[in-house]
């Protein structure tokens, strides 16, 4: 059991590394607050970002709720701003969705 847990931890760490690269268009973290056009995201280095979600495809499993862990595809726009093209659940998800019209 210990070996299996260690393998899971290293997979999770690798996933965090891959999805903690806003300069390359990959970002992730925990939602703190959501408005109609944006959300506040705390990344895994404890930095708070403003995420533009005005024209973003949101995977159906994502609820956009405070405390939810998500991963984003998009573009870094400033030192703490990111334009999200897609929002996906942290844990994956197999269903397809549509662009949100909030």
Nearest-angstrom CA–CA distance, 74 and 84: 4
Q: Can you name the CATH fold of 2-89?
A: OB fold (Dihydrolipoamide Acetyltransferase, E2P) (2.40.50)
| Cβ(31)–Cβ(50) below 8 Å | no
39 closest CA partner among 70, 78, 79, 60:
70
Structural contact between residues 56 and 63, judged by C-beta atoms closer than 8 angstroms: no
Q: Please list the residues that pair with 89 across neighbouring strands.
A: 70
Q: What is the CA radius of gyration of the chain?
A: 14
pLDDT classification of 5: cutoffs 50, 70, 90: low
Q: Is the pLDDT confidence value at 99 over 60?
A: no
pLDDT single digits (tens) 43-86: 999 999 999 999 999 999 999 999 999 999 999 999 999 999 99
Instruction: Spell out the domain ranges in the chain.
Output: 2-89
């Amino acid at each position: 059991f210990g070996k299996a847990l260690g393998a899971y931890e290293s997979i999770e760490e690798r996933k965090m590394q891959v999805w903690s690269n806003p300069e390359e268009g990959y970002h992730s973290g925990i939602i703190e607050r959501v408005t109609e056009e944006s959300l506040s995201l705390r990344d895994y280095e404890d930095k708070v970002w403003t995420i533009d979600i005005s024209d973003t495809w949101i995977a159906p499993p994502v609820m956009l709720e405070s405390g939810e862990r998500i991963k984003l595809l998009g573009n870094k726009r400033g030192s703490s701003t990111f334009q999200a093209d897609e929002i996906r659940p942290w844990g994956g998800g197999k269903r397809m969705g549509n662009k949100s019209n909030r």
